[in-house]
Structure 1
Amino acid sequence: MTIAVDKLSDPAVRRLLGAVNSGNRDAFFAALTDDATMSDDGSQRDLADWVDREIFSSHGHIEVQTEKSNGRALVADFRNDAWGEMRTAWKFTVASDGRVSHFDTGQA
């Protein structure tokens, strides 16, 4: 059973994933700190390049299965036109201003 993005516990994560699922690149970057970083399968990636390739140009969509750590650790089914669907794990760091400053993702 999936958890609707608008029901996620953490408001920063809710905003970020809502932007993913609506295909709204501007809202996605507005939900991040100016110096936000990310990693994929343990390797640091260029955030803008990764997001454009894996989410926005390939119609990425996320369906959350479980959440832990007050909504900052998720297991989700992620799909895009490039890779199809895969089970993924996500961990988010939220800054004091309420925006995501870092996220890790990878195969779950």
Structure 2
Amino acid sequence: MTIAVAKLSDPAVRAFVAAVNSGDRTAFRDLLTPDATMSDDGSDRDVDDWTEREIFSSHGHMDVQSESDGGHALIASYNNDTWGEMRTAWRFTVDHGKISRFETGQA
């Protein structure tokens, strides 16, 4: 069972998932703080390089299965053209309505 994007608890996380799923680079970048950081499977990555490769140019899509921690932690089925479908965990740090860090990895 998936959770509709509109039903996600945290507005910044909701906007993140919506931007990923619509391939909207501008909306995605606008919801991150200027100094936002991220990690993939425990290794810090360059946000712009990683998101272009793993989300936008490979048509990434998140189907959220569950959320916890006030909407700052998600389990999602993530699909892109490079890796296919995988079960992923996402954790977000939200500061003043913007995402300052996100962490993802296989769940």
Report if TM-score (shorter chain) is over 0.5: yes
**Aligned length, in residue pairs:** 107
The aligned amino acid for 1:106 is G
What's the counterpart of residue 43 of structure 1?
43
Q: CA RMSD for the aligned pairs?
A: 0.4
What's the counterpart of residue 102 of structure 1?
101
What's the counterpart of residue 18 of structure 1?
18
TM-score of the pair, normalised by structure 1: 0.98
State, as a whole percentage, how many aligned pairs show the same letter: 67
Structure 1, gaps ≥5 residues long: none
User: Aligned with 1:49: secondary structure?
Assistant: helix
Structure 2, gaps ≥5 residues long: none
The aligned amino acid for 2:100 is S
The aligned amino acid for 2:60 is G
What is the rounded CA distance, in whole Å, between the counterparts of 1:106 and 1:71 in structure 2?
17
The aligned amino acid for 1:93 is T
Residue deviations 1:28-77, cap 9 Å, x none? 00010000000000000000000000000000000000000010000000
What's the counterpart of residue 9 of structure 1?
9
What is the rounded CA distance, in whole Å, between the counterparts of 1:11 and 1:2 in structure 2?
18
What is the rounded CA distance, in whole Å, between the counterparts of 1:16 and 1:75 in structure 2?
14
TM-score of the pair, normalised by structure 2: 0.99
What is the rounded CA distance, in whole Å, between the counterparts of 1:5 and 1:100 in structure 2?
17
Query: In the TM superposition, what is the alpha-carbon distance from 1:6 to its structure 2 partner?
Result: 1.3
What is the rounded CA distance, in whole Å, between the counterparts of 2:79 and 2:37 in structure 1?
21
The aligned amino acid for 1:104 is E
Query: In the TM superposition, what is the alpha-carbon distance from 1:16 to its structure 2 partner?
Result: 0.9
What is the rounded CA distance, in whole Å, between the counterparts of 1:17 and 1:25 in structure 2?
12
The aligned amino acid for 2:45 is R
